[in-house]
Chain A
Amino acid sequence: MTGTGVETRQPASVRRRPIGSLYAGNARAVMYRGWRATKSTNWLVVVSGVFEPVFYLLSLGIGLGSFVGTVTAGDGRDISYAAFIAPALLATAAMNGAVYDSTWNVFFKIRFARLYEGMLATSLGPLDVAVGEISLALLRGGAYAVAFLIVMQAVGLNLSWWALLALPAVLLVALAFASFGMGITSYMKSFQQMDIINFIMLPMFLLSATFYPLSVYPPGVQVVIQALPLWQSVELVRSLTTGAVTVGILWHVLYLAVMATLGMILTTRRLRRLFLD
């Protein structure tokens, strides 16, 4: 019943916003925009993100796994090589989905499309934009992860009921990477700098105890690997899908939560600096 004639609607101007000039409580409008824009996205790239980890699982888990045999899990049990790498691939899928949306897509929007400039000329605040965009990236990372989790279930690689908790865990992983990725991206000025992200992601994927246990590294190197966010993610997810759960996994949760928060703060500050100076 919205007439287009006389409007007496009072814009929400009298009410003070929760975080003042940063947040209008309308991140869903940013998500709505992202959803409407998906029509023009490259679906091949999106869909390939679903299959990539499945191919890794088939070739390495099943293929290479037949040579490797079993691996010792965190709690001393022997598990199949496929069951060992599957959670790592799951965490990586969540990371990749989140990072793709929150880095390259965001970089383009900041530097070329001036999308955020338009958004921030409305009543949206930088935190709305950050939360909206990060949630979208999270959805994408989450979607990849759910698809892969289903595949894992189908081939019997979820070894415990704890695996149910792997779903919120990978969402946290996606959130942490989306949030941090967007924060970092907002500082990037050129394509060359953006390539640094790729330069970091691949080695991190290969080294984060993805395909072999941390114990193969000398102690000094182990510390470095343990500091990597993907290692934290892989360990968290692996504990859950293999059922080797200890209280210690809460450290991983904390690590990822801090990373998500830092990324959010970084992004908000930076958007404000870039578009509301």
Chain B
Amino acid sequence: MSSPVIVASDLVKQYDEVTAVGGISFEVAPGESFGLLGPNGAGKSTTMRMIGAVSTRTSGRLEILGLDPDAYGPEIRSQLGVVPQSDNLDEELRVRENLIVYGRYFGLPAAHVRSKADDLLAFAQLEDKAKAKVTDLSGGMKRRLTIARGLMNDPRILLLDEPTTGLDPQARHILWDRLFRLKEEGTTLVLTSHYMDEAEQLCDRLVVVDKGVIMAEGTPASLIREYSTREVLELRFGADHNASMAERLKNVGDRVEALPDRVLIYTADGEAELAALTDADIRPLTSLVRRSSLEDVFLRLTGRSLIE
């Protein structure tokens, strides 16, 4: 295996008394798609900013493309594409100009930057918006433009901080499709998310982060295998009864989890479990059998759900 493009070990970021990142270690291989998954305030963005060489670590070791960001900030940034959590497009410039000017920040030649901008407008499906004002774009279009901008310098690593948060399902799927293509072309992707389905779609491997530390690491499938069961039976008894029913059912299945709005029963076979409950005359208001997801992994690891 070729040497990793990112090596972090015991990475810490301290803001006065807040420990945003409390000693995390991971490696990312070239061409890999790596995810940081965690709830609000987990330290995802802070980690991304350190990888992006725009935030100095408090302690620990960090190497991006074999270089220490403390000493080689500009060199590292010249080979990264960055999509920050909230768009910071240049609103005084038009859509195509945003790409061109951004390319110039990397010191790339004018002719190259122009043709690259046109390629990326096509990639982001924004050709007909080339002359539009940035403020006139929809949220999804802005996001695609930000991604296109991040690709102007043909980066070796693309950092995406919550690429699809706030977008409607259709816009998300368009974006996932674009990211998939990049992945196929061999771009290393590092992304954060608090959407399970997104992580399962896009990540080869991920870490679950909570309160600045890594709770688990693996492929989406292996995490589900390790920390959850194959299926989940979701039962709703009404807000007042969920807790007491969870207590009654605590020996059903492999594990029972009580949430305010429902009871989750972890089991290899959800239908069989439901049939057994029906036989025992336990009748929830609604029931649902589904496959385990990373959401369940997270719940298991932290006792909290990912999106509150």
Contact = CB atoms under 8 A, between A and B. Distances in A.
Contacts of A40: 92
B84 A37 contact: no
Contacts of B183: none
B112 A2 contact: yes
Nearest to A31: B104
Interface string A113-126: 11101111111110
Interface stretch (B74-82, B214-222, B261-269): B74-82
Nearest to B77: A123
B56 interface: yes
Interface string B154-181: 1000000000000000000000000000
B77 A122 contact: yes
Contacts of A29: 101, 104-105, 107
Contacts of B285: none
Contacts of B92: 37, 40, 113
A33 interface: yes
> For the complex, would chain B's binding face be called helix, strand, loop or mixed by DSSP majority?
loop
B84 A33 contact: no
A121 B106 contact: no
A189 interface: no
Contact of A4 (B67, B84, B116): B116
Contacts of B282: none
B115 interface: yes
Given A21-B73, A36-B101, A123 B55 contact: no
A117 B119 CA distance: 25
Given A12-B107, A21-B74, A118 B90 contact: yes
In this complex, the interface size class of chain A, counting residues with CB under 8 Å from chain B, is 20 to 34
Which one of A2, A12, A119, A275 has the highest number of Cβ atoms from chain B below 10 Å of its Cβ?
A2
Contacts of A20: 71
A24 interface: yes
Interface string A18-34: 00110011100110110
A125 B53 CA distance: 11
B54 A37 contact: no
Interface string B52-96: 101110000000000100111111011110101000111111000
A11 B78 contact: yes
Given A13-B75, A17-B74, A122 B102 contact: yes
B97 interface: yes
Contact of A124 (B56, B105, B111): B105
Given A33-B104, A123-B78, A114 B88 contact: yes
Contacts of B73: 21, 125, 276
Contact of B93 (A11, A17, A33, A277): A33
Which one of B55, B77, B102, B115 has the highest number of Cβ atoms from chain A below 10 Å of its Cβ?
B77
Contacts, number: 102
B75 A277 contact: no
A2 B93 CA distance: 24
B188 interface: no
Contacts of A120: 54
A121 B54 contact: yes
A121 B115 contact: no
Contacts of A36: 93, 97, 101
Interface in A9-57: 11-13, 17, 20-21, 24-26, 29-30, 32-33, 36-37, 40
A255 to B, nearest CB: 33
A33 to B, nearest CB: 5
Nearest to A112: B91
B153 interface: yes
Contact of A26 (B107, B119, B154): B107
B101 A12 contact: no
A276 B54 contact: yes
A101 to B, nearest CB: 13
B119 A4 contact: yes
B115 A11 contact: no
A29 B84 CA distance: 21
Contacts of A12: 75, 78, 107
Contacts of B119: 4
Nearest to A132: B105
Contacts of B104: 26, 29, 32-33
Given A13-B72, A13-B78, A33-B93, 7 more contacts: A13-B79, A29-B104, A117-B54, A118-B102, A121-B84, A123-B106, A124-B74
7 contacts: A17-B74, A24-B74, A29-B104, A36-B101, A40-B92, A122-B77, A123-B107
**6 closest A-B pairs by CB:** A123-B78, A2-B112, A122-B105, A37-B92, A21-B73, A114-B88
